[in-house]
Amino acid sequence: MPFDRDLFLPVSREDMARRGWDFYDFLLITGDAYVDHPSFGPAIIGRVLEAEGYRVAVLAQPDWRSAEAFRSLGRPQLGVLIGAGNIDSMVAHYTAAKKRRHDDAYSPGRKAGLRPDRATIVYSNRVREAFGDIPIVIGGLEASLRRFAHYDYWEDRVRRSVLFDAQADILTYGMGETATLEIAARLASGTPVSEITDVRGTCVVGKYPGLCAYPRVEVPSFEEVSASKTAYAKANMVEYQEHDAVSGKAILQKHGSRFLIVNPPAFPLTTAELDRVAELPYVREPHPMYDDMGGVPAIEEVRFSVTHNRGCFGACNFCSLAFHQGRTISCRSHESVIREVRLLTEHPGFKGYIHDVGGPSATFRRPSCQKQLKSGMCKNRACLAPEPCPNLDADHTDYMMLLRKLRAIPGVKKVFIRSGIRFDYLMKDPSGEFFTDLVQHHISGQLKVAPEHCVAHTLDYMGKPHIEVYERFREKYFKLNRRYGKEQYLVPYLISSHPGCTLADAVRLAEWLNRQGHMPEQVQDFYPTPGTLATCMWYTGLDPRTMEPVFVPRSPHDKALQRALMQWRKPQNRRLVLEALHKTGREDLIGYGKHCLIRPDKAGAPAEGPKKRAETKSAPPKPVRKKGWASPKKKRK
């Protein structure tokens, strides 16, 4: 159904005129289409500022080829806020193989090419061209992960902090509500932007280190990390260790004659603050200007979903969440989530199904331990991997009670969980009662979890638990499915070509998958995104935690071999699989036995791939079967 455009933040001079505005305070520029939903960062920032009395206008996906589009709404009174969108613009545009993507779920009608590469830099430079010395604040995921000198996979070199290339005044990193409001208040009071240098959760550029207002540590300069991979790895580790609101220091990194000053992270929002942000008057829909363009597909995954938490102490080394949102958990109250779900039941398109009650990791609703609240997160100890910390608090009761309350709301038929379930965290739950509820009530046909690999040292480089934990989880999952008469599948996410994974390790993964009776339908090749520890390993060949060398499968052919092994039954992969088995001396896996991955060539006959077995997903074994994954039935429409 069409929604009144006046429910949204203004996107044109006409919108402002209808509101009687003859000026506005902030121009909010985003690389995504304008979707007024709390899963979209620009919508949150816009509504938070609006709630404080500021006038905010939105410029979504402007034509960056000239400055004219950036002047279309006129000059704002206080400043311009810029974000590339919900994901890094380079990730939005290119696959892990650096091939151009053909569509964009965050753009109307999935149309690709409506934002530039390195959108934060391009937009900021155009704003500077359009408005001169107006205060410019950059933020969002792209700016957050590129706040330090960083390795850029697409150019295969170290780039400066994005703050320098964007010519912006301030960079906000992490979840930016608190920092943005403080900056806005100071600008509104008449403080020059050059004097706003001490806001937590922000970065600024200064000529002297004395500009920093906090206890600080200095990491190797941009010039040093560009020239030395050892220096890069050391800097990356310090940047991770100090990313804590309780114990973290400010970090200085010299760029030429100037200093990048990264102030300590902002403190996570309290439950009351997070409730307020989540319940601002979002329309929860794309702007109606996109109705004739096919809408904005990204809304479909989140329209009837609820975010109840922030932060992640899972600390997977290939994931950017810990470096963006931090490892400290903050969560909404039960009452706030219930109010949101009741509101969703009134939506004209609601059919009774809440698609997700989650966040970075769905089950995290409490600190990992009490110590972190006083002392911050441990700098040299992960909470879950390779073994759970003895101090870990894995009680799932609060999340379980929240879900039970949501299931009881009139009009709600099912409440599903689709964002990440940490199976290792779940297995540490002392009662196990939530696991039972999960199987009985919260799975939409299949549960997706992320063991990622099966080889212990590869999992250590990933920051993941060893495979035995997943196997115990899987066994219990299917046992509960049998107990309650459920036929629900288990789909493991796996990564190929991660730093530390050799070709022999990839063969062992294929063996493990074969024993499980599972071949992934899709394969995720490791993607070196900005800022992560795994990207540091990929670039430097060093583990920044130990400074020991790490094997890295970098060449396209090495990556293709590992990827093919994960889909060994596909005929088009036969040549690569044979090559990998010969290279690793694993000819014992070529044959007709159950343990074999591939059949030998028949004399005088062309090479054929093995017959494709029917099963593609893990399914619960029926009681009469031995342990294993049964072949699933055809998926019901």
- Domain residues of the chain, as ranges? 5-202, 487-637
| Cα–Cα distance for residue pair 64/124, rounded to 1 Å | 10
Confidence of residue 625 (pLDDT cuts 50, 70, 90): very low
Confidence of residue 624 (pLDDT cuts 50, 70, 90): very low
Q: Where are the alpha helices (DSSP H) in 444-532?
A: 456-462, 467-483, 503-516
Q: Above pLDDT 90, what percent of the chain?
A: 86
Residue 493 has pLDDT above 70, yes or no: yes
Nearest to 446 by CA among 245, 633, 250: 633
**Strand, coil or helix: 489:** strand
Please state, rounded to an integer, the average pLDDT across all residues of the chain. 92
Q: What share of the chain is helix, strand, coil (3-state, %, to 5)?
A: 35, 15, 50
Neighbours of 312 (CB within 10 A): 24
Greater confidence (49 vs 607) lies with 49
Greater confidence (615 vs 383) lies with 383
| pLDDT tens sequence across 555-608 | 999 999 999 999 999 999 999 999 999 999 999 999 999 999 999 987 544 444
| pLDDT tens sequence across 273-325 | 999 999 999 999 999 999 999 999 999 999 999 999 999 998 899 998 888 99
Residue 190 has pLDDT above 90, yes or no: yes
Nearest to 427 by CA among 382, 487, 385, 486: 385
| pLDDT tens sequence across 357-385 | 999 999 999 889 988 888 889 888 889 99
| pLDDT tens sequence across 66-95 | 999 999 999 999 999 999 999 999 999 999
Mean pLDDT of 129-141: 97
Strand ranges in 471-624 using DSSP code E only, listed in sequence order: 489-496, 524-525, 542-543, 548-549
Residue 619 has pLDDT above 60, yes or no: no
Confidence of residue 485 (pLDDT cuts 50, 70, 90): very high
Q: Which CATH number fits domain 5-202: 3.40.50.280, 3.30.1360.20, 3.90.650.10, 2.60.40.420?
A: 3.40.50.280
Greater confidence (624 vs 342) lies with 342
Q: Which pLDDT score is estimated for 605? A: 42
Q: Which pLDDT score is estimated for 1? A: 54
Q: Which pLDDT score is estimated for 2? A: 62
Confidence of residue 610 (pLDDT cuts 50, 70, 90): very low
Q: Which pLDDT score is estimated for 315? A: 83
